[in-house]
A and B are shown apart, each in its own frame.
Chain A
Amino acid sequence: MSEHAIAWTVNAHPRRDRVEARTSLADHLRLEVGCTGVHLGCEHGVCGACTVIVDGRAVRSCLMLAVQADGACVTTVEGLAAPDGTLHTVQQAMREAHGVQCGFCTPGVLMTFAALSSDAAKADEQAMIAAMSGHICRCTGYQGIRRAAKALADKAVGSGQGT
C-alpha cells in the first residue's frame, strides 16, 4: 500500500495532497477537498453524476485514482460559477431550459457541457447530445437538458427565454 504526494490544481487553486494509492479521485474530491458537488451514483462509470473536467476533458471521477491526477488541472461543478455567484453559461442554459429537477445528475451534465462548449470547434449540438448518452437523469426526461444543449450550440443563453 503506497502513499503519494500529488501537486495539482482544483478549481483554479493549486494544491498539494497526500493520497493513498487506492483512493478514487471522486472520493478524494468529496471527502478531502470538500467538493461535494461531485455526486456518486453508481461508482462504476455508468451514471455520469461524478463527471469532472480533467485537463480540459470531461471524465468520470469514479473511474480514476486521485494519484493519477498528479499534475492535472481539475474542475468540479464548484468551479463553474464566478466568485460573485454569476452562473457559468452552461449553468445559465440549464436554468433557463429547466434542465434541472432533483439535481442529482446535474453537476455531471454541467461538466460535460462545460468541457464541450469551452472548445469552440466542438460546441455543436450533436456532439453535446451524443455525449449525453454518458449521463442518466431519472427526473427530467432529458428534454430540458436537450434544450439547454441547443441553446448552448446556438449561443442563445441569457436571451430572456425561460426564467
Chain B
Amino acid sequence: MSWRAGPSRRSIALKPAPFDYVRPASVREACGILAEAGGGATVIAGGQTLMPLLNLRMSQPFILVDIAGIEDIQGVSAVPGGLRVGAMTRQADGLTDALLAARLPAMVMALEHVGHHQTRNRGTVGGSIALGEPAAEMPATAVALGATMEIASLRGIRQVAAADFYLGPYMTALEPDELLTGVIYPHWPEGHLILFREVARRPGDFALLGMTGAAVLENGAVARIGLAWFGMGPTPIRMVQAENALLGQALTDIDPDVVARLAVADAAPFNDHHVSAEYRRTVGHRIFRRTLREAFGLKEAA
C-alpha cells in the first residue's frame, strides 16, 4: 500500500468513483429512487460481488441504493405452492432456516457452496440471483428448481420465470427501474433427491463449472426432474435434453453415459483464463455421470 493516514481526512484511500448513498425503508421508496435515477442507480444488497466491481470502477453508479433496511424482503416464508425467499435474505440465514432445510434441501445444498463463511454472512440470495454471474450457484439453482422471480417497480409487480430471467453474463430481464424483491421456489416433495456437484480450485472460490438440481422418483422411475449447469455458458443453462431423456424413465433403463452426453450438448462452455471449453465439456460429462449414478444409486457399467 502506498497510502498512509494523512493529516487531512480527504487524503484517505478511496477506490470507487463518487456516488450518493441512500438507504430506503420500503420497496416503494426504493423503486421511486430507481425510477427517478433513470438507470444511474445501482442496488446494493450484501455487496460481496458489487464492492470489488465498484473498486475497479467497472460499476460507476451515481446513486447506490442499499436495500438492507427494507424489512419485507428479508427471510423465508411459505407461500401457496412453495417457498418465498426474500431477496435480502443473507445466505448465512438461509443456511440455518428451518423452512428451507425441511422443504428445499436441494437449495440449501447449493447455498452451502456460495462463497465463504465470511461472505455468506453478508451476501444475499437475491443479490446473487439478480447479479447473474454465469458461474454462480444461486442463479442456476433457481433455474433448475423452476423458481419465479418477484420483481417490483412503480409500475407494479411482475413475475418472471427463472428460465426467462437470464439473458447473458450479468444480464437479466430486470429493467433499470425494477427491484428483485423475492424468489419463489415451487414445492418439491419431501425426499426429493439432490443432484449437486461443483468443481472449484478451493472451496468457496468461483466454480469452474458445476451442476445443480433435484429429482423425484416414483415407483422406480423419474417422476420429476430439474437440472441446470453453472459455469458452462454465458448464463445458467437448463439441461433440457437430459431432463427429457430422464423424465418417465425407469432407473433400470437409464444409461448415465448417454444422458451425460445430452446434458453436455445443452451447454455452451467457453475458454477463459482458468480452463478451456474442452475441459469444461470433459469434466462436465464426468461429474454429471457420477452425480446421476450416486443420486439414483445406479451401478457403474462393467
CA distance A26 to B278 in the complex (A): 40
A38 → chain B closest CB, angstroms: 12
Which of A2, A34, A63 is B48 in contact with, Cβ under 8 Å?
A63
> Contact flags (1/0) for A11-49 with B, using CB distance below 8 Å?
000000000111110011011101000001001111010
0/1 per residue, B107-125, Cβ < 8 Å to A?
Answer: 0000000001111011000
Size of the B side of the interface (Cβ < 8 Å), in residues, is 35
B169 at the interface (CB under 8 A from A): no
B5 contacts A1, C-beta separation under 8 Å: no
Stretch at the interface among B28-36, B50-58, B182-190, B217-225: B50-58
User: A31-B5, A32-B12 are known contacts. Are A21 and B118 too (CB-CB below 8 A)?
Assistant: no
| Number of inter-chain CB pairs below 8 Å | 105
Proximity bits, B65-105, A CB within 8 Å = 1, else 0:
01010000000000000000000000010000000000000
Chain B residues in 8 Å Cβ range of A46: 205
Binds B, one of A73-81, A97-105, A130-138, A152-160: A130-138
Set of chain B residues within 8 Å of A4, measured between Cβ atoms: 21
Given known A43-B55, A63-B48, contact A20–B122 (CB-CB < 8 A)? no
Q: Across the interface, do B203 and A133 meet the contact criterion of CB distance under 8 Å? A: yes
Q: Which of A22, A48, A64, A130 contacts B16 (CB 8 A)?
A: A22
Q: Is the CB of A63 within 8 A of B117?
A: no
Measured CA separation A24–B117 after assembly (Å): 20
**Is A68 positioned at the interface, with any CB of B under 8 Å from its CB?**
yes
B301: Cβ under 8 A from any A Cβ: no
Chain B residues within 8 Å of A22, by CB? 14-19, 54
Contact of A63 among B14, B17, B21, B122 (CB under 8 A): B122
Say yes or no: B119 contacts A21, CB within 8 Å: no
Q: Does A7 contact B (CB under 8 A)?
A: no
**Does chain B have a CB within 8 A of A149?**
no
Query: What chain B residues lie within 8 Å of A134 (beta carbons)?
Result: 116-119, 204
A56-68 interface code vs B (CB 8 A; 1 in, 0 out): 0111101111011
Q: Write the chain B residue with the least CB distance to A30.
A: B5
A34–B4 Cα distance when bound, in Å, is 11
User: Residue among A22, A24, A30, A68 with the most chain B CB within 10 A?
Assistant: A22
- Do the beta carbons of A2 and B20 come within 8 Å of each other? yes
Closest residue of chain B to A67 (Cβ to Cβ) is B21
A2–B61 Cα distance when bound, in Å, is 13
A45 to B123, CA, bound (A): 11
Inter-chain CA distance A23–B20, complex, in Å, is: 12
Q: Is A106 part of the binding interface, using a Cβ–Cβ cutoff of 8 Å?
A: no
A89 lies within 8 A of chain B by Cβ: no
The answer on a CB contact under 8 Å between B18 and A133 is no
Question: Is B204 touching A60 in the complex (CB atoms < 8 A)?
Answer: no
Q: Could you give 20 example pairs across A and B, Cβ below 8 Å?
A: A2-B20, A4-B21, A20-B18, A21-B64, A22-B17, A22-B19, A32-B9, A32-B12, A43-B52, A45-B52, A57-B92, A57-B122, A58-B121, A60-B118, A60-B122, A63-B48, A63-B119, A64-B51, A112-B118, A131-B118
